[in-house]
Amino acid sequence: MDRRHLSSTFVFLLFLSFFSEVNSASFKIVNRCRHKIWPGLLSGANTPQLPTTGFLLNPGKSRTVTIPRSWSGRLWGRTLCGLDSTRKFVCLSGDCGSGQVECSGSGAKPPATLAEFTLNGAGGLDFYDVSLVDGYNLPMLIVAKGGKGGNCSATGCLLDLNGACPSELRVARKDGGGVGCRSACEAFGDPQYCCSGAFGTPDVCRPSTYSLFFKRACPRAYSYAYDDTTSTYTCASADYVIIFCPPPYSSQKLFGERKDGAVLPLVNKSMIYISSVHANGASLSGK
Ligand SMILES: *[C@@H]1O[C@H](CO)[C@@H](O)[C@H](O)[C@H]1NC(C)=O
Ligand SMILES: *[C@@H]1O[C@H](CO)[C@@H](O)[C@H](O)[C@H]1NC(C)=O
């Protein structure tokens, strides 16, 4: 390689890095919970890796991660983490099984509330949703900032469903405190709930009493595999704020009532007292 070739390669790389700088999004991940969380990030197949795949976020803190514009993947929160007797890092909910704070390519063990993204997908739009298809462990809100095109609505699941979870889906720690709420698919493995086998198409796989429990509480979140029409949101060239444990009332006021084109409310007001009613550890009897 001669010198001229080298320098043109350098200019090209410089151009490339400038280009990728412009073509990146930022995810500001915020912990509004009263306890520590450990966000985990998983990149989809054939998408660029991220600078981090997991870290500690103290209450009231936030961290901004730069995300390549062509990225797709998911993000969740882990709770009640620590070192086990063999000095492996483990979490009571959302554990990724890596044994370390970084998830390094491993996903969340259900149940976990997931934020799912496909940036710069069909028509140049970002597709995003909050999914309870793999169950629930934490309230979460996604807010699109500075985007254009698409509808850029806020989405999420603002209620604490760990206390209200039907008993047959409930995951609790030894002292009885709820740490997660499983999906019916994960709890029973039934094709009817998993939309698999004979139930593998949208017209055959219908909402169940279990998926409706999630949908009623969190109308904008995915409650089962084919819940697309009310749960997928789009925006173009936006940055995103992902908030764990957003305060339900003020979040609803801020994001639910602004003109954002989404038909469903962010939070079901008739269910907003669920968590305090059941704060004593009692749970709704599952139907
Ligand atoms: C809110 O919850 C009530 C009670 O479960 C339910 O009947 C209603 O359909 C829910 N609203 C929405 C918008 O999901
Ligand atoms: C925004 O997205 C929601 C959910 O998919 C949809 O119901 C609504 O019609 C969309 N609004 C606009 C303006 O595109």
Q: What is the pLDDT of residue 72?
A: 97
Q: Tens digit of pLDDT for each residue in 228-254?
A: 999 999 999 999 999 999 998 888 888
Asked if the model's pLDDT at residue 96 lies above 90, the reply is yes
What residue's CA is closest to ligand 1, atom 12?
216
Domains of the chain, with CATH numbers? 24-277 (2.60.110.10)
Compute the distance from residue 23 Cα to the ligand 1 centre, in Å. Answer: 40
Q: Name the pairing type of β-strands 114-118 and 155-157.
A: unpaired
- Which pLDDT does position 286 carry in this prediction? 30
Q: What is the pLDDT of residue 20?
A: 45
Look up residue 3 and give its amino acid. R
Nearest to 73 by CA among 251, 211, 242: 242
> Would the CB of 127 count as within 6 Å of ligand 2?
no
Least confident of 59-68, 97-106, 143-152: 143-152
Predicted confidence band at 105 (pLDDT cuts at 50, 70, 90)? Answer: very high
| pLDDT confidence bin for 8, thresholds 50/70/90 | low
On the 0-12 / 13-18 / 19+ scale of CB atoms within 10 A, 186 is middle
Is the pLDDT at 279 greater than 90? The verdict is: no
pLDDT in the model for residue 282: 36
The CA distance from 148 to 143, in Å, is 13
- The more confidently predicted of residues 280 and 3 is 3
Distance from Cα 9 to the centre of ligand 1, integer Å: 59
Residues with CB under 6 A from ligand 1: 216, 219, 264-265, 268, 270-271
Which residue's alpha carbon is at the smallest distance from atom 9 of ligand 2? Answer: 262
pLDDT score of 248: 85
Q: Is the dihedral of CA 59, 243, 257, 214 positive or negative?
A: negative
For ligand 2, say whether the CB of 232 is within 6 Å of any of its atoms. Answer: yes
Ligand 1: nearest atom to the Cα of 269 = 1
Instruction: Show Cβ contacts of residue 175 under 8 Å, excluding neighbours closer than 6 positions.
Output: none
Best CA proximity match to 157, nearest among 193, 114, 118, 211? 114
The closest alpha carbon to 161, from 127, 207, 121, 130, belongs to: 130
Q: Report d(CA 206, CA 223) in Å as an integer.
A: 11
Averaged pLDDT of the chain? 88
Mutation probe of ligand 2 site: the residue of 130, 142, 151 with most atoms within 8 A of C-beta:
151
How far is the centre of ligand 1, averaged over its atoms, from the C-alpha of 214 (Å)? Answer: 10
pLDDT digits (tens, 9 = 90+) for 13-52: 444 444 444 589 999 999 999 999 999 999 999 998 899 9
Q: With 50 as the cut, is the pLDDT of residue 5 above it?
A: yes
Quote the ligand 1 centre to 172 CA distance (angstroms). Answer: 26
Q: pTM of the full predicted structure? A: 0.87
Give the pLDDT confidence of 195-232 residue by residue, as tens digits. Answer: 999 999 999 999 999 999 999 999 999 999 999 999 99
pLDDT of residue 200: 96
Q: Which atom of ligand 1 is nearest to the CA of 216?
A: 14
Per-residue pLDDT, 252: 82
What local confidence, expressed as pLDDT, does residue 256 receive? 66
pLDDT digits (tens, 9 = 90+) for 111-162: 999 999 999 999 999 999 999 999 999 999 999 999 988 889 999 999 999 9
Q: Do 79 and 172 touch, CB atoms closer than 8 A? A: no
DSSP per-residue codes, 50-82: -S-SB--B-TT-EEEEEEETT-EEEEEEEEEEE
